[in-house]
Chain A
Amino acid sequence: MTFKLAASPHSHQRRTTKQVMRWVYLALVPGLLTIIYFFGWGVIWQLMLAVITAWVAEALCMKLRGRPIESAWHDHTALVTAILLGISIPGFAPWWIIVIGTAFSIIIVKHVYGGVGMNIFNPAMAGYVVLLISFPVQMTSWPLPVQLSQIDLSFFDSAVLIFTGYTPSGYDLEQLRMGADGMTMATPLDSLRTALNHEMTIDEALQQPIFGSIAGLGWQWVNAAFLLGGLVLLKVRVINWHIPVGMLLGLAVPAALAWMFSPDQSVSPVMHLFSGATMLGAFFIATDPVTAATSNRGRLYFGLLIGFLVFAIRTWGGYPDAVAFAVLLANMTVPVIDKYTQPVAYGHGEKS
């Protein structure tokens, strides 16, 4: 009788890539619920479109590459890319925005580079940047928090808006974004940038109703919810602390310094931390292991770099938020970070 041969070890911890990915999207749920609560149902439709597009694109690529289609769906990485992109774009953006973005993420950024584990750039963020540059109007038309909006949109009204550009009662997106005074309202970060450009002080800018108690109505709670989800990921050890802590420090420390020296022209560190895509970026986007640095020390530097770039772009750059650009720029530096942060192996240190 012959017996089965196998390479050691014969014992395996049963946590597959699929399970890792499942934790990631489960941890996104609190943030998602908060977005729905404050910004309406649009995000759900965006997610559905993103997931369907991702699956179709993934299947197409696997077929073209002559690989088994099922194995690609098994690991759920495309699903996470789709969900991150779906969350990142404005909730009522026209349907083709998310379709183009997701298809670009999966086909160009992921599969052209060799599929799972081989891509250099974060697929969701590369897709986001392509959309932001190509369709700046649609990509910056963020809905108002439901609480400030003059018009209530049901779940199906949202779908009609996304697919036709008008609500069933005939409003278009611009009208939806008007406040009580009939002015189009921007996101908190947008408003700040505009205010600063108009030589207003931060304190004056913060008088606008879009700002909540901490960092912008709705946005602060969305960030808090993503922080919560991120802490869950840390707790179940799907991610290590190095990237999120690095990114938050990289953002908060320069922000605090700037705020201390010129409080009139600078955004407070708390505001930085709880607005825009900060928490989503720190815990869910920058932590994408494929495109991050390899060692834990390297990942700390990688996070710090992203945080600092976010601060720099928000403060001096042309775009109100910066997580996507910061992540892509940091992705490019990964080989260099890896080269200089290789840990000292056993027996090579001075301790020997």
Chain B
Amino acid sequence: MSAAAKKAIETGKIWTFPGGIHPPERKELSNHSPIGQLALAATYVVPIKQHTGAPGEICVAVDERVLRGQPLTQSTTGQGLPVHAPTSGTVTAIGPGRIAHPSGMADIVIRIRADGEDESVPQQGLTDYTQVSRAELLDSIRLAGIAGLGGAGFPTAQKLALQRPIDYLIINGVECEPYISADDRLMREHAESIIDGAEILLHLAGCNKGLVAIEDNKPEAIAAMQDVLQQHPHFSLRVVPTKYPSGGEKQLIQLLTGRQVPSRGLPIDIGLIMQNVGTAYAVSRAIRHGEALTERVVTVTGEAVAKPGNYWVRIGTPVAHVLQQTGFQAQDNEQRIIMGGPMMGFTLPDVDVPIVKISNCLLVPSTTELAPAQQEMPCIRCGACSDVCPAELLPQQLQWLAKAKDHEGLEKQNLFDCIECGACAYVCPSEIPLVHYYRKAKAEIRNIAREKAKAEIARERFEARNERLEREKEQRLERHRKAAEARKKAQQEQVKSGGDNPQDAVQAAIARAKARKAAQQKAADEQASSNDEDNA
């Protein structure tokens, strides 16, 4: 980053990003009460993969007793992220189970029957993390199972391990999605720990400037954080105007620095790294207290719950337990259970799926507050979607192309720069589920690319095999040719040296055989003539 660019950032300027929308925020439904605790559930379901990347290997067995914070998986490569037992109890089953995923797909889960003791593994924290090597600190964060809690679920240590120059660490407390107030409450109640975690992250990032961003609709959180930040000169607070999706990584970077992350690139490509406030908090807990990530703040909200608010929920808690504890009452058969917010969340087919590391909200709306989608009408090309697209795409063009399966056209229109924020579908007067079409098209294109890559590999293998066979055949022929030559040569040498020519032996044998045949013929002839005489 150039000096001029840094100077502009230092002035505290807030840039802007194109598009964006102002949906009803509805945060007051859940942000008034302090973060509550839920009673322990009877069983927990811990999916072994809750982050972006490969899962670890399971290191517990059925019927084994586990303690809270005990790793259930471990990584042999030192890259994967472990998951931990959310409470003490017994492993009852390991196998496929439904997980929280838009497709409702199944993955390997570990089921634990809680024993109610809630006994933890012994924990050991660090008072001075600067005395510990960088690698060791990163390993502690990895072993605590920390992945980005803002929604992406990218392993935090892995993000920090990239040894590249970083100008700014951005701590994201924007929380722009309507209804959700988990980060808001966390900042109000645990500002100290969040900033402590942010200092650790800053130390690991190897830079000395941090920006803490909060949307201006959270005055209490801003006050709490500001209070703590006074003792932390490396950090400065940036209050951004309320507009969805200002909390999106790319949009927030544009707001705070006026720069754009290159297409298909990472923030680190322009010297930036971003972490969510919840992640910073988890890092502080992991380093200071040696706590593994076994719980997170979840906003439970919507008019269909009696006690909306924020709760500390153990990772692996079945959604059913959370809803039962908060007084959920299904309104009608149009009832939706949304994991995440109203803009980017996905509906759950049933409530047996567990809360995972990236689950920041459970939204159970009544049909009056969030009316179900109406029937899709034809696009009238009104362009309302392009006016609100923060990525400056042309959503309606993408929609036509996606429906026509014009994959080349979609790539030309930069489909893969779509962040799926849903602003376009929110304003669409024809209620076209635009994001749904984009996701489908992206999946199709990825599948085709994968198939193509597979076919390419198969083709390469096939060609390599053909080549090898050809080569072997030639080698064989060559060998035979050489052997024949060698034989011939040996014969000639034998002849030269006056020894028996093997060819002579063959000739002799043929001559012998001929003589024998002639003798037999002769005998037979004689026999025949004597017989004739007898008959006569």
- B387 adjacent to A1 (CB under 8 Å): no
Nearest-Cβ distance from residue A79 to partner chain B, whole angstroms: 13
Task: Say yes or no: is A254 at the interface (Cβ < 8 Å to chain B).
Answer: no
The 4 closest A-B pairs by CB, nearest first: A9-B422, A347-B263, A7-B436, A11-B342
- B347 adjacent to A3 (CB under 8 Å): yes
Nearest-Cβ distance from residue B479 to partner chain A, whole angstroms: 59
Binding site for B on A (CB under 8 A): 1-17, 19-20, 71, 74-75, 77, 115-118, 240, 289-290, 292, 294-296, 299, 338, 342-349, 351-352
- A10 adjacent to B382 (CB under 8 Å): no
**Residue among A11, A77, A289, A349 making CB contact with B24, cutoff 8 Å:** A11
Instruction: Please choose the segment from B48-56, B135-143, B181-189, B427-435 that sits at the chain A interface, where 4 or more of its residues have CB less than 8 A away.
Output: B427-435
Nearest-Cβ distance from residue B17 to partner chain A, whole angstroms: 8
Report the Cα distance A11→B350, complex, angstroms.
Answer: 21
- A346 adjacent to B263 (CB under 8 Å): yes
With a CB–CB cut-off of 8 A, which chain B residues contact A345? 263, 391-393, 414, 417
Which of B337, B342, B365, B377 neighbours the largest number of chain A CB atoms within 10 Å of its CB?
Answer: B377
- B350 adjacent to A2 (CB under 8 Å): yes
With a CB–CB cut-off of 8 A, which chain A residues contact B270? 352
- A4 adjacent to B417 (CB under 8 Å): no
**Residue among A10, A16, A240, A351 making CB contact with B370, cutoff 8 Å:** A10
- A7 adjacent to B433 (CB under 8 Å): yes
**Residue among B178, B330, B377, B414 making CB contact with A348, cutoff 8 Å:** B414
- A296 adjacent to B429 (CB under 8 Å): no
Known: A3-B347, A10-B363. 13 other contacts (CB 8 A): A3-B330, A3-B349, A9-B435, A10-B338, A11-B342, A17-B430, A116-B380, A289-B382, A290-B381, A295-B386, A295-B394, A345-B391, A352-B270
Nearest-Cβ distance from residue B347 to partner chain A, whole angstroms: 5
Report the Cα distance A17→B250, complex, angstroms.
Answer: 31
Known: A4-B372, A347-B250, A348-B417. A118 touches B347 (CB 8 A): no
- A3 adjacent to B346 (CB under 8 Å): no
**Residue among A7, A290, A352 making CB contact with B262, cutoff 8 Å:** A352
**8 Å CB interface, B255-288 against A:** 258-265, 270
Report the Cα distance A213→B13, complex, angstroms.
Answer: 52
- B338 adjacent to A117 (CB under 8 Å): no
Interface of B is mostly: loop
Known: A116-B380, A346-B417. A9 touches B260 (CB 8 A): no
- B381 adjacent to A16 (CB under 8 Å): no
Known: A289-B381, A295-B386, A342-B413. A3 touches B343 (CB 8 A): no
With a CB–CB cut-off of 8 A, which chain A residues contact B387? 240, 296
- B396 adjacent to A347 (CB under 8 Å): no
- B377 adjacent to A11 (CB under 8 Å): no
- A118 adjacent to B391 (CB under 8 Å): no
Known: A9-B435, A352-B261. A15 touches B429 (CB 8 A): yes
Residue contacts A-B, CB under 8 angstroms, 16 given: A3-B335, A3-B350, A9-B435, A10-B363, A11-B370, A75-B378, A77-B380, A290-B381, A294-B381, A299-B383, A342-B394, A343-B386, A345-B414, A347-B250, A352-B259, A352-B260
Report the Cα distance A241→B441, complex, angstroms.
Answer: 33
With a CB–CB cut-off of 8 A, which chain A residues contact B212? none
With a CB–CB cut-off of 8 A, which chain B residues contact A13? 21, 23, 426-427
Known: A3-B349, A7-B435, A10-B370. A115 touches B390 (CB 8 A): no
**8 Å CB interface, B348-403 against A:** 348-351, 363, 365, 370-375, 377-383, 386-387, 390-394, 396-397
- A20 adjacent to B260 (CB under 8 Å): no
Known: A1-B330, A20-B429. A347 touches B262 (CB 8 A): yes
With a CB–CB cut-off of 8 A, which chain B residues contact A8? 340, 342-346, 420, 422, 425, 435-436
Report the Cα distance A344→B426, complex, angstroms.
Answer: 22
Task: Say yes or no: is B77 at the interface (Cβ < 8 Å to chain A).
Answer: no
Report the Cα distance A296→B383, complex, angstroms.
Answer: 8
Known: A4-B335, A13-B427, A289-B382. A347 touches B261 (CB 8 A): yes
With a CB–CB cut-off of 8 A, which chain B residues contact A1? 330, 350-351
- A347 adjacent to B343 (CB under 8 Å): no
User: Residue on A with the closest CB to B413?
Assistant: A342
With a CB–CB cut-off of 8 A, which chain B residues contact A299? 383
**Residue among A4, A74, A296 making CB contact with B347, cutoff 8 Å:** A4
Task: Say yes or no: is B117 at the interface (Cβ < 8 Å to chain A).
Answer: no
Report the Cα distance A343→B396, complex, angstroms.
Answer: 13
Nearest-Cβ distance from residue B417 to partner chain A, whole angstroms: 5
Nearest-Cβ distance from residue A340 to partner chain B, whole angstroms: 13
Which of A4, A71, A74, A290 neighbours the largest number of chain B CB atoms within 10 Å of its CB?
Answer: A4
Report the Cα distance A296→B18, complex, angstroms.
Answer: 13
**Residue among B250, B372, B379, B414 making CB contact with A117, cutoff 8 Å:** B379
With a CB–CB cut-off of 8 A, which chain A residues contact B337? 3
Nearest-Cβ distance from residue B108 to partner chain A, whole angstroms: 23
Task: Say yes or no: is B133 at the interface (Cβ < 8 Å to chain A).
Answer: no
Nearest-Cβ distance from residue A324 to partner chain B, whole angstroms: 20
Report the Cα distance A289→B258, complex, angstroms.
Answer: 32
Nearest-Cβ distance from residue A302 to partner chain B, whole angstroms: 12
With a CB–CB cut-off of 8 A, which chain A residues contact B263? 345-348, 352
**8 Å CB interface, B213-266 against A:** 250, 254, 258-265
Nearest-Cβ distance from residue B339 to partner chain A, whole angstroms: 10
- B350 adjacent to A292 (CB under 8 Å): no
Report the Cα distance A9→B395, complex, angstroms.
Answer: 15
With a CB–CB cut-off of 8 A, which chain B residues contact A118? 378
With a CB–CB cut-off of 8 A, which chain B residues contact A240? 383, 387
With a CB–CB cut-off of 8 A, which chain A residues contact B436? 7-8
Nearest-Cβ distance from residue A240 to partner chain B, whole angstroms: 7
With a CB–CB cut-off of 8 A, which chain A residues contact B372? 4, 6
Nearest-Cβ distance from residue A9 to partner chain B, whole angstroms: 3
With a CB–CB cut-off of 8 A, which chain A residues contact B338? 10
- B349 adjacent to A12 (CB under 8 Å): no
Report the Cα distance A342→B392, complex, angstroms.
Answer: 9
Report the Cα distance A75→B420, complex, angstroms.
Answer: 27
With a CB–CB cut-off of 8 A, which chain B residues contact A19? 429
Report the Cα distance A2→B330, complex, angstroms.
Answer: 11
**Residue among A10, A16, A71, A77 making CB contact with B345, cutoff 8 Å:** A10
Task: Say yes or no: is B500 at the interface (Cβ < 8 Å to chain A).
Answer: no
With a CB–CB cut-off of 8 A, which chain B residues contact A116? 377-378, 380
Known: A7-B433, A10-B338, A346-B417. A294 touches B397 (CB 8 A): yes
**Residue among B378, B392, B427 making CB contact with A346, cutoff 8 Å:** B392
Task: Say yes or no: is B127 at the interface (Cβ < 8 Å to chain A).
Answer: no
Task: Say yes or no: is B27 at the interface (Cβ < 8 Å to chain A).
Answer: no
- B377 adjacent to A75 (CB under 8 Å): yes
Which of B24, B371, B378, B379 neighbours the largest number of chain A CB atoms within 10 Å of its CB?
Answer: B378
Task: Say yes or no: is B84 at the interface (Cβ < 8 Å to chain A).
Answer: no
- B392 adjacent to A343 (CB under 8 Å): yes
